[in-house]
Amino acid sequence: MCGIAGYWNAGVDFNAQSLEVMAAALRHRGPDYSGRFVEGKAGLIHERLSIIDLNERSNQPIHSHDGRFVMVYNGEVYNFNELATQFRIETKTTSDSEVVLELFVKKGVEFVNYMSGMFAIAIYDRKEERLFLFRDRVGIKPLFYYEQPGTFIFASELKALQRALPHDRLRLNHQAVLNYLHLGFIPAPDTIYENTHKLLPGELAIIDANGVVKRKWWSVERQIGKEQIKSEREALVRFDKVLNSAVQSRLISDVPVGTFLSGGIDSSLVSAVAARHYPGRIKTFTIGFEHTRHDETGYAAKVAKHIGSEHRMLYATEKEAEELLPDIISQYDEPFADTSAIPTMLVSRLAKDEVTVTLSGDGGDELFMGYGAHVWAGRLAKPGVQMMAPFYRTALAMGGSRYKRVARLFEKSQVHEPHIFSQEQYFFSQRELLQLVKQPGEVFKPQFEHIRRQLTPEERQALFDFKYYLPDDLLTKVDRASMRYALETRVPLLDYRMVEMAFNLDPGLRLKGKSGKYLLKQLLYKYVPKELFDRPKQGFSVPLEQWMKGPLEGWFNAYLDKSMLMKHGVVNPEYVADLQKKFKSPKYAFLYNRLWAVAALHAWLDSNT
């Protein structure tokens, strides 16, 4: 796990010093070694966090055996030993990096199809003066780039580009602001700046004198076949086998490994399987909160006792959350409204004191339909529901906070996946955005490739979550939070074999009635007693509503103040003031995430414009 950056033909106002600025911006990702390559049209940097083969012989940039290619690489390829054997790659180190580069030498750009792991890779062809970039299938590892005619600059985090480029090169992307206020994150390939982008999950780019060519080398839509796995018994056997393989491979490390254990289904399953394969007692880490409605530490402790882990627990206070807020605005580089970044940063800091690698349970909800939005997608698609939408909306709007929130789901005559997601997450609807922002427009529309069979509404909603919410919010959150403390986090449930099987399950094995993650739960009960999970889903959330009316009120109000809103001129101050007034009433408690999104946006604007 590392930080990478570089350029191709960067131009007169981007020089060797600019490369050093990018390196400094990424040093928290890799404090163990800092490497450089500069030649002709290209420059590459690598900030290393040593995980496999701690010897300096595995420092990067790494050169191919024939000297033609140079690589910097962020991530891990877990099947590197098998690939070395399969393709008869002679190695001089015990690192995966050497195998990855030599596989590229043998197979060209198709090499990426053989690899199982998480990665962002940059390879420079010294002979042809050509740069290659690759991002893993799911988008676990990030890669940003700035592109102008004849110039291409890339980095693991947007801050490296922000700090190295002249300020007038970066222009605010108003469409990205709109999407952020609707979803709570900025979906790829956009960023908060007009001329910087994210390389998509499963995408590669080739940059040379002829320009930039990008194409998808993998997509989840292409993995969805006409046939489905309908047998529960068969599915359980197959998933159990693959999960054990995925977890076992992600325990490979030359440094200590632990797991994040929230006490929920996904992290408990990953931790239980990891405990079976880890030599000795694995360490597990949990964050709790003082408000019991958001505290699952008791459940996590029971799971830890059952699997026999060395358990570490920390209670987060409002003061710690408040102290972290400036760091979160800085670390995420662009507006980001997911407040679970707070506990994620805290648990990462806790874990780093004892381990360098952690396993997390991310991906379970997206693969196995664990969100309320998946249930709502099915409900709203039923015949007659949309015909009655105006009636439902009016009736529900007369109720309390919960009913007023649900009423927003019936605002559109045709309900699309982003709208369901937005309202399930308490963000602004298209109708509200017309009143909120000063430059309104159409909100984000997802792009899906051709799929060989008709998906149910629930499956389409899960596909939206997997393709957008997972990489651009959840995985972003974990990557930035963990790498802030030079902690590598691996995600076994997102092994591509798990992903491909999950999207070919009969929908009833994913969502049974109103109960999501059905198959995953049956698998979990093989390892941990069922009675430990007989409770409602809580998620890795913070008591945000209470904090915004209590210890964080000062910070919150400062960024919603009329003078602050007028200074940046993005939103309508009168509309925000009306939301604040309503928020004080229990009937409008659900407005907290909308107001948080506006406050976080202006905290970012105030620091970056």
561 annotated ligand-binding residue: no
550 annotated ligand-binding residue: no
CA distances in angstroms from 592 to 338, 515, 544, 569, listed in the order given: 12, 27, 7, 22
> Looking at 1, 2, 26, 565, which residue is catalytic?
2
What is the number of other CB atoms lying within 10 angstroms of the CB of residue 80?
Answer: 25
- Cis amide leading into 61 (omega within 30): yes
Helix boundaries (H) for 154-312: 158-164, 174-183, 220-223, 232-249, 265-277, 297-307
Q: Report whether 26 contacts 20 (CB < 8 A).
A: no
123 annotated ligand-binding residue: no
Helix boundaries (H) for 26-121: 80-86, 96-107
What is the number of other CB atoms lying within 10 angstroms of the CB of residue 517?
Answer: 25
CA distances in angstroms from 290 to 100, 116, 595, listed in the order given: 46, 40, 23
- For residues 172 and 167, what is the distance between their CA atoms, to the nearest angstrom? 11
Is 2 known to be catalytic?
A: yes
Q: Phi and psi at residue 74, in whole multiples of 5°? A: -115, 120
What is the number of other CB atoms lying within 10 angstroms of the CB of residue 251?
Answer: 19
Sign of CA dihedral 385, 367, 184, 350: positive
CA distances in angstroms from 540 to 14, 261, 286, 327, 420, listed in the order given: 41, 10, 10, 19, 20
479 annotated ligand-binding residue: no
Q: Report whether 4 contacts 61 (CB < 8 A).
A: no
Which residues are marked as active site? 2
Q: List, as residue ranges, the binding site for L-glutamine.
A: 96
Q: List, as residue ranges, the binding site for ATP.
A: 287, 360-361
Q: List, as residue ranges, the binding site.
A: 96, 287, 360-361
